[in-house]
Structure 1
């Protein structure tokens, strides 16, 4: 297992790793499950899970508060952050994009409430941010696309290790097996706190989606009712219980039942969804990558992967 998180993260020491990059350096490709599922448009159903779980850890939430424009341009920040990470998986030069993402974080440092320091490139903090992306692939695929076998979950975790190496940051904080990852994930959930960042970022759930200025408030309340109902059932349903608690998001057995019904329906219609045009099924960076390699992943979407014996 990695070093103790609470003590290691307080070292606040950046630990970039600049290995020599060659044509044989590890990268992800069309034979990977992460390529197959990460860029699927249904991944957007997990947007609040990935953004929220990241920012429920005090040091990461404080880093976003101190160094980003989330409070003034929430959607803009998401649009700027997402593409470079997506290109780390799908571009022709993933090592370049991985190190670009890493270098964005070089100046991000500061202190938290108890006076201890943080640095975005401290391995424990940087790996936690990455772990939420691995979780997104695992969770969204298994919940909304199709059930994954244990072997496939192990494969996605192992591919996630290759993905992490593309960033060029020490892997000191990384679990080495899928079972260790599950244990690590549960321990991290128990560290969740209501950071200012995450409380602000989930305000639209508690208060309702804000409406355009040109639409009168009474009219918007009526128009937005179905959207808010969807968010408070499906979006909140994707969140770990620990996050719902620290964000004061209402949940009960009735909502859980509705959420599970929606998830089951989503999995059931997967054979129909995967008949959509490739451009409609994948986000642009993933679509471009599949076209570049000349592979159509749609026939594979409903076929469990056979993991070779080791």
Structure 2
């Protein structure tokens, strides 16, 4: 949610600095003994690259279609977006063509398989989501998670570049590619049935509402629902996004009753 706010909030620079500062304590040593820090400009820009370029990859896979001119426009806007974090602009490519070369180089030569990657990709290890009834048997959740894992990994693999699939040992056949394209067309058709307003991410929709007068321009931003936050002692750690929720008008149709403490 706050990363989207770096694009859509009325004061995006402040939001950008907040997001940047969530990363101050994310540091340590790699398996080979080398040090890492989340605010290393090369590391931070790569994370940003996956966010903005993910828009293009998803549009290519699931629609609506995106033109080359729109891709270049998104790249230029991504430079402005990144500048709002207040992190060095040194790693940022100058042109869209430069970015594509950078992306290819990262996928082919820099990315590495890692236990952290495998953990993120294995949703079967997650506990039942908070919206599930407390009486739901664990065995039933494990079955649901296992089935969801198959689809999750298939979609994720389809969005990966070929060098990343190879590096991680993920198979992808011509049949998979054909089915993935058909799946993308089905998603695009399905989204056309959804009202335009609800195709938007809540943070972007909140910005639209400020511009149209549906919500007061000085109203608190729409923060993430509490269901997205860690529980227990984890919630207070600075590595997690944990804003103080500001209440919004109760009659907003998209506002969740599940709010932050």
TM-score (norm 2): 0.69
**Aligned position for 1:252:** 173
Distance in 1 (alpha carbons) for counterparts of 2:138 and 2:31: 41
Equivalent in the alignment of 2:26:
108
| Shift of residue 208, structure 1, vs aligned partner | 8.6
| Pair 1:118 & 2:36 matched | yes
* Deviation for aligned residue 1:225: 6.7
| Offset from partner CA, 1:158-203 (integer Å, 9 cap, x none) | 0000000110111001100000000000000012211120011112
Number of the residue aligned with 2:254 = none
Rounded to whole Å, the distance in 1 between the matches of 2:27 and 2:155 is 35
Q: 1:263 aligns with which of 184, 199, 202?
A: 184
The verdict on how the C-alpha distance between 1:230 and 1:115 changes in structure 2, with shifts beyond 3 A counting, is closer
Instruction: Report how far residue 241 of structure 1 moved.
Output: 2.8
The 3 A distance-change label for structure 1 pair 224 and 101 is closer
Superposed displacement of residue 238, structure 1: 1.8
Partner of 1:127: 45
Secondary structure at the aligned position of 1:289 is classed as helix
Separation (CA, whole Å) in 2 of partners of 1:236 and 1:254: 13
More moved, 245-254 vs 191-200:
245-254
Matches within 5 A, 1:53-202: 83-190=1-108, 191-202=110-121
1:244-277 Cα offsets, whole Å, 9 max, x none, are: 344443432222221111112233455433xx16
Superposition CA RMSD, Å? 2.8
SS of residue in 2 equivalent to 1:118: strand
Q: What is the Cα deviation at residue 123 of structure 1?
A: 1.6
Give the Cα–Cα distance (whole angstroms) in 1 for the partners of residues 127 and 171 of structure 2.
19
Please tell me whether the aligned partners of residues 233 and 258 of structure 1 are also in contact (alpha carbons under 8 angstroms). Answer: no
Q: CA deviation at 1:236?
A: 2.8
Displacement of 1:89 in angstroms is: 1.2
Is contact 1:146–1:270 with CA below 8 Å preserved after alignment? no
The change in CA–CA distance for 1:210 and 1:246 in structure 2 (over 3 A counts) is farther
**Which residue among 215, 234, 237 is the counterpart of 2:137?**
215
CA contact (8 A) 2:30 2:36 kept: yes
Highest RCO, 1 vs 2 (Cα 8 Å, sep ≥ 6): 1
How far off is 1:235 after superposition?
A: 3.4
The alignment's TM-score, normalised by the length of structure 1, stands at: 0.59
Contact 2:121–2:153 (Cα < 8 Å) also in 1 = no
| Equivalent in the alignment of 2:206 | 288
Structure 1 residues 257 and 161 mapped into 2: Cα distance closer, same or farther (>3 Å)? same
Match of 1:235 in 2: 156
